[in-house]
Amino acid sequence: MCGRYTGTKDLAELAKRIPFLSVGYFFAPRYNIAPTQSAPVISFEKNQPVLKMMRWGLIPKWAKDESIGSRLINARRETLEEKPSFKTALKERRCLIPADSFYEWKDVRGKKQPYRIMFKSGEIFCFAGVWERWIKPKRTDDFFVNDFDQEPNQDQIIDSFTIITTQANSTIAPLHDRMPLIVEPEHYDWWLDSRPGHEMYKSVLDNPRNEPMKIYPVSPIVNNARVDSSDCIKPYRIP
């Protein structure tokens, strides 16, 4: 599972690895990105990579309201191609989620202690994800209607994403049996390219990035989704 992560690095670093990706504006460092919040995501639209903000927690096209997104923050790699919420997005709307660490929790003397997990190099990386565009139905008196003949207003559209998870590696397994699926930089274009006939993305699912990682305890303030400061990533001495 992945329930929180950080994005504190300059995203311009990713532009060097992804051809034609433009980072035209500043993204403030994030130290505690939580479900239902917006975060930078790289998708493939109009035959080129695009960086924009999306909401974490995928809202399927068929959803009646956006509340379902809070339950779809992760998608298991093993069932991606079977679940109605994800299988179409896997084929047509894959994305990369920039990050430089994520959090996991372990029970320590009856309390949930958060740990930060990152590459030993400290470098930025990308989770594999899929995204969806949901159009909020218009409300007419006591019921909702979808007017497909009219262009939706911008405030009716929500682009949302989910993070794909896989079996934890030997470093993370003592904390949790799942971890986010991290994409090899050489495979970014394989994962993003959603043009018909391009199916190299399937090999990305079976060959996640696997580099030396470090894990250290951080303050329980991470448990509060409203806290988003550099104090979240400072090493913490467990009492």
**Which tokens in the block code for residue 146?**
């979808």
Residues β-bridged to residue 140: 143
**Catalytic, out of 13, 92, 104, 151:** 104
Q: What is residue 85's three-state secondary structure?
A: coil
Q: Amino acid identity of 83?
A: K
Q: What is the 3-state composition of the chain as percent helix, strand, coil, each rounded to the nearest 5? A: 20, 35, 45
Tell me how far apart the alpha carbons of residues 44 and 47 are, in angstroms, rounded to a whole number. 6
DSSP label at residue 151: P
Report how many helices (DSSP H) and strands (DSSP E) the chain contains, helices first: 4, 14
Element (H, E) at 178: strand 178-180
Asked if residues 51 and 97 have their Cβ atoms less than 8 Å apart, the reply is no
**Catalytic, out of 2, 95, 126, 232:** 2
Asked if 104 is an active-site residue, the reply is: yes
Element (H, E) at 53: strand 48-56
Asked if 232 is an active-site residue, the reply is: no
**Which tokens in the block code for residue 108?**
């320590």
Q: Amino acid identity of 40?
A: P
| Residues assigned a catalytic role | 2, 104
